[in-house]
Amino acid sequence: MTPEFVVSFATEAITTAVKLSAPLLITALVLGLAVSIFQAVTQIQEMTLAIIPKMVGVVVLLILFLPWFISTAAQFMEKTLSSITFYVGLG
């Protein structure tokens, strides 16, 4: 295993992780910001009002994007497992 290979593999792993987590995190961020603005305008300081919309939004997005999440993770794992002999130095 060369240092270049390790760096490229780590880069690909981090890129895949960011691609998989970004839609959920951005959704939670946008919904949290919207709820915070709503709470500031109306002066309602209820904790469940801050948490429930984010949870619902993330779950809905997870259900909608689940096929894409699975295919992206499966492609990364397929590529990783298909070249496992190179990883351990046998190839």
Q: Where are the domains of the chain?
A: 3-87
Find the angle CA(64)-CA(74)-CA(3) to the nearest 5 degrees: 130
How far apart are the C-alpha atoms of 43 and 65, rounded to whole Å? 34
- SS3 (DSSP) at 2: coil
Q: Does residue 58 contact residue 24 with C-beta atoms inside 8 Å?
A: yes
- Looking at residue 33, its amino acid is L
| pLDDT tens, position by position, 12-23 | 999 999 999 999
Given a cut of 90, is residue 73 above it in pLDDT?
Answer: yes
pLDDT at 91 over 70: no
